[in-house]
Amino acid sequence: MSTALSETSTSGALYQQAIATLQRLLGEAAASGDPEPTAMNLASIDAAGRLSSRVVLLKGVDGNGLRFFSNYESAKAVQLALHPQAALSFHWKTLREQVQARFEGRINKLADVDSDAYFATRPRMSQIGAWASLQSQPLPSREVFDARVDQFEKRFADMAVPRPPHWGGYVLLPDLVEFWYGARYRLHERVRYQLHNGTWSTELLYP
């Protein structure tokens, strides 16, 4: 059965329902003992069409999308600049009979002011690390990294650490959402929400 309502992108009731479901599952996953409930796989694609994926942490979700933070010069950043499209997936092993949530859609950079606000909440050493790490570039030795950490600790001694220009947030605005609820005998439940021509619809899928 497919349910289609006349609604658009982020304002629709079905979209809000999908976001609310994610927010509820994150809370339930934390309560179920998941040590890292916001960890999600981020898949992106390079210029040659080659896929890669890695884990990042969700740092916020609301009607505007799913937010995460990274180095704007990393391998993923180069890919996301070329193909501002990504897939995110969560897997909560301790939640119910296991639950998976998937989100696909368009990627935008977060506004600088929002990246600044989040950066300011990070522990000081994480802020120093954001300056010191040339994420995804070859590192000649651990000592080189340690020396860079020392260098930035000295540079920002006795002052608040500003956000590096090469570090900030992304937001994925989904056009496809799926929740997979594990069940006994592999009789899992899959619920998909999809945006087509400005209208969200939802349907069940065979597991």
Ligand X SMILES: Cc1cc2nc3c(=O)[nH]c(=O)nc-3n(C[C@H](O)[C@H](O)[C@H](O)COP(=O)(O)O)c2cc1C
* 70 touches 167 (CB < 8 A): yes
- Could you tell me whether strands 167-181 and 39-45 are parallel, antiparallel, or unpaired per DSSP bridges? unpaired
Query: Out of 30, 43, 45, 56, which residue is the one contacting ligand X (CB under 6 A)?
Result: 56
Q: Is 134 in the site for ligand X (CB under 6 A)?
A: no
Least Å distance, CB 70 to ligand X, is: 3
CB nearer to ligand X: pick between 24 and 54:
54
Shortest reach from residue 58's CB to ligand X, in Å: 8
Q: Could you say whether residue 115 binds ligand X (CB under 6 A)?
A: no
CA angle 163-168-174, nearest 5°? Answer: 160
Q: Which CA distances in Å does 42 have to 45, 113, 205?
A: 10, 24, 23
- Closest Cα partner for 26 from 55, 54, 56, 59? 59
Residue pair 26/38 in contact (Cβ under 8 Å)? The answer is: yes
Answer for which of 32, 135, 199, 201 binds ligand X (CB under 6 A) is 135
Give the whole-angstrom CA distance, residue 89 versus residue 41: 5
54 touches ligand X by CB under 6 A: yes
* Residues annotated catalytic, as ranges: 186
Taking CB under 6 A as the binding criterion, the range among 65-73, 86-94, 152-160, 172-180 that sits at the site for ligand X is: 65-73
Which one of residues 14, 74, 90, 103 is an interface residue with ligand X (CB under 6 A)?
74
Q: Which stretches of the chain bind ligand X, using CB under 6 A?
A: 36, 39, 52, 54-57, 68-71, 74-76, 135-136
